[in-house]
């Protein structure tokens, strides 16, 4: 199996439709979540909406580079989410998240294998493989948080 195929499969698994490692994925966890639950604050934890924005921020930023653009994202801005004040705001964020995740997967699917070892934006960021792999691992980390926060929200509602 080509490495780009392997990465695409891992990306789809965590973001779009996987069940193997985690038994769930981002889309499944956020697609039917109410906006009230998405913004519910549990102690000092980030909200699900904040985490969704944060993860999307990196997907969209790396996607821009994969599509030939510049790296325009900065870590310091990765939690600068616009407010979620009603269901349309939340549905818009979820829609953009899912759309960009699908675009990312399609772009990765057609990426030439040799591009994985090319410099990503600037030498200090390493190569494409490092950044794509880090994005996937970052996704697993935050998906775990979302699952736990969602359980806390459901327990609070009972």
CATH value at residue 26: 1.20.120.450
Distance CA(148)–CA(158), nearest Å, equals: 16
24: CB partners within 8 A, 6+ apart: 18, 143, 147
Angle between helices 3-12 and 128-157 (to 10 degrees): 20
Which of the 8 DSSP states describes residue 69? -
Domain count, the chain: 1
Low-confidence ranges of the chain (pLDDT < 50): none
Q: What is the pLDDT of residue 9?
A: 94
Range of the domain at 73: 3-157
- 53-96 pLDDT, tens per residue? 999 999 999 999 999 999 999 999 999 999 999 999 999 999 99
């Amino acid at each position: 199996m080509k490495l780009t195929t392997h990465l695409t499969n891992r990306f789809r698994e965590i973001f779009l439709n996987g069940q193997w490692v985690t038994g769930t994925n981002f889309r499944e966890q956020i697609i039917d979540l109410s906006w009230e639950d998405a913004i519910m604050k549990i102690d000092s934890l980030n909200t699900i909406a904040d985490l969704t924005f944060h993860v999307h921020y990196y997907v969209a930023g790396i996607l821009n580079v994969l599509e030939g653009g510049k790296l325009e994202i900065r870590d310091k801005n990765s939690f600068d989410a616009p407010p979620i004040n009603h269901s349309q705001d939340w549905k818009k964020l979820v829609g953009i998240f899912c759309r960009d995740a699908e675009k990312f997967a399609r772009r990765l699917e057609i990426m030439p294998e040799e591009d994985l070892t090319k410099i990503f934006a600037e030498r200090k960021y390493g190569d494409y493989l490092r950044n794509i792999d880090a994005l996937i691992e970052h996704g697993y980390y935050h998906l775990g948080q979302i699952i736990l926060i969602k359980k806390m929200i459901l327990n609070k509602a009972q």
